[in-house]
């Protein structure tokens, strides 16, 4: 599982470019769940670096935050809404949602989280052992006679399914919308 994120432990190491350029990596890990929104988070960042008149924050490291929501010098406006929505998902659904987003279907940092979840719900089919397992389920739903199922080439059928209407990653299957 490459997309495991514990959103309750989302945190950022906040330094400043001025300190970094002066040879210091002084900063502090700030846990996002300690803040209600981006404004409150930035207030804490300013308090941490109150010895600078206008600190230019540098997010030197981060954990449990999707890559598309943060960079070295920025954090998405909707990071708190996205993390809250992810917190409400079970691990399988969260993993599938992040895979779907990472495959270029949507941008977590720019789109409304409710629209994203709706689009994901339209595209997500479920979790399977592999593509052939998904193909087998499709055949089972077709009500073919048992003797025909014995001769069916599930591997070839799976290959055909996933060369057009469907795509998968890490066992999660999606419609190719």
| Cβ-proximal residues to 106 (8 Å cutoff; 6+ apart), any chain | 100, 116, 119, 120
Last residue of a domain, one of 40, 68, 90: 90
Give the pLDDT of the chain (177 residues) as one tens digit per residue: 456 789 999 999 999 999 999 999 999 999 999 999 999 999 999 999 999 999 999 999 999 999 999 999 999 999 999 999 999 999 999 999 999 998 876 788 889 999 999 999 999 999 999 999 999 999 999 988 988 888 889 999 999 999 999 999 999 999 998
- Same domain (yes/no): 69, 11: yes
- Looking at the structure of the chain, the number of domains it has is 2
pLDDT of residue 177: 84
pLDDT of residue 152: 86
pTM: 0.85
Q: Residue 21 domain-assigned?
A: yes
Last residue of a domain, one of 37, 66, 90: 90
pLDDT of residue 3: 65
Long-range contact set of residues 66-72: C-beta below 8 Å, sequence gap at least 24: 66/5, 66/98, 66/101, 66/108, 68/101, 68/102, 68/107, 68/108, 68/109, 69/108, 69/109, 70/12
C-alpha 174/C-alpha 100 separation (Å) is: 8
Q: Residue 121 domain-assigned?
A: no
The sheet that has 57-63: what strands, in order across it? 28-31, 11-16, 57-63
Collapsing DSSP states into helix, strand and coil, what is residue 82? helix
Domain that holds residue 59: 7-90
Quick check: 13 and 32 in contact, CB under 8 A?
Answer: no
Q: Residue 109 domain-assigned?
A: no
- Same domain (yes/no): 80, 18: yes
């Amino acid at each position: 599982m490459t997309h495991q994120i514990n959103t309750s432990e989302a945190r950022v190491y906040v330094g400043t470019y001025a300190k970094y350029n002066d040879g210091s990596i002084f900063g502090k890990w700030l846990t996002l769940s300690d803040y209600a929104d981006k404004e409150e988070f930035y207030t804490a960042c300013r308090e941490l670096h109150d010895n600078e008149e206008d600190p230019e924050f540098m997010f030197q490291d981060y954990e449990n935050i999707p890559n598309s929501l943060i960079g070295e010098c920025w954090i998405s406006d909707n990071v708190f809404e996205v993390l809250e929505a992810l917190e409400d998902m079970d691990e399988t659904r969260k993993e599938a949602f992040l895979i779907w987003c990472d495959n270029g279907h949507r941008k977590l940092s720019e789109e409304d989280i409710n629209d994203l979840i709706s689009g994901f719900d339209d595209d997500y089919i479920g979790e399977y052992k592999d593509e052939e397992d998904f193909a087998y389920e499709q055949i089972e739903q077709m009500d073919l006679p048992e003797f025909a199922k014995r001769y069916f080439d599930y591997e070839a059928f799976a290959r055909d399914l996933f060369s057009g209407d469907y795509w998968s990653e890490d066992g999660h299957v999606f419609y190719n919308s």
